[in-house]
Amino acid sequence: MSALVGAELLKLRTTRAWIGFVLIVVALSGISSAAAVGSAQDSVLGTSELSREILSGALFASLIAFLIGVMSVTSEWRHGTVTRTFLVTPRRERVLVAKELSILLVAFGLAALGIAIALVVAVPWLFVENSSLALSDDLVPLIGQIVAASMLWGALGVGVGAVVQSQTPALVGSILWILLVEALIQALLGLIDLEAVAHYLPGQALSAFDGTLDEGLPVWAGGVVGLAWVAALGALGYVRMSRQDVT
């Protein structure tokens, strides 16, 4: 399995897209951190509230991990490499598991990079403002939450890619689902007083887990529901892949 995971990581490294993804994480995390410090009032400087806002900028890594997860699967069909992949590894469940594991590693790295960039931007700026980053007991759990959320989003992307397989519909459809469709579903369920059911949709569950959604499931429940969606989509993706003739 380690060889398969290494092969998947090699596929990601040998394309120029990974450079763009890394630069996006660096840019967005840095801009978000700078905006948090630059717009902070004097009364907020040195508080744990500002520290949480600074670190939360690293959550952009979740979106990038999700997109990489989708593309890690759909690019096989787009570029016609899926046949060679399955010839080298006929057990298709191993291919899917290797993709999941590789994206977990990538998502971990992106989240760590986002956190590092947020701190590199914020700490010197706070020093100039005669302040510092407040170290509170909830910062370590927040860092763990950011990393875990990025990994779950990345794994969810692999599941979406395995189910849809066509790259453009998978990317466009999943983004529309998260940004628009889930909100529409919640609004429709609200007409019959069942809007709370929408909190169990994948986007809302993982947003509750990463802290970007104020209303909804508790953090722990968002993580559990998000993990269930990852498992469900992964299973559906495997069923579809196992029944396909790619020769």
pLDDT band at 43, cuts 50/70/90?
low
Instruction: Summarize pLDDT for 102-134 with one digit per residue, the tens.
Output: 999 999 999 999 999 988 988 887 787 777 777
Sign of the CA dihedral with 137 first, then 139, 145, and 151 last: negative
What percentage of the chain reaches a pLDDT higher than 70? 95
Q: Residue 39: what pLDDT?
A: 77
Predicted pLDDT at 186: 86
Structure tokens, 20? 């763009």
pLDDT at 154: 94
Residue 155 has pLDDT above 90, yes or no: yes
pLDDT band at 6 (very low <50, low <70, confident <90, very high): confident
Number of H helices and E strands in the chain, helices first, is 11, 0
**pLDDT of the residue at 226:** 92
| pLDDT tens digits for range 50-106 | 778 888 888 889 999 999 999 988 888 877 777 777 767 767 778 888 888 999 999
pLDDT of res. 17: 79
Give pLDDT tens digits for 216-229: 788 889 899 999 99
Tell me the domain boundaries of the chain.
2-242
Mean pLDDT of 134-159: 86
Contact 73, 237 (CB under 8 A): yes
Are the C-beta atoms of 217 and 225 separated by less than 8 Å?
yes
Single pTM value for the model: 0.89
Q: pLDDT tens-digit profile of 160-206?
A: 998 988 888 999 999 898 889 988 988 888 888 888 888 999 988 99
User: What is the number of other CB atoms lying within 10 angstroms of the CB of residue 151?
Assistant: 24
Which pLDDT score is estimated for 18? 81
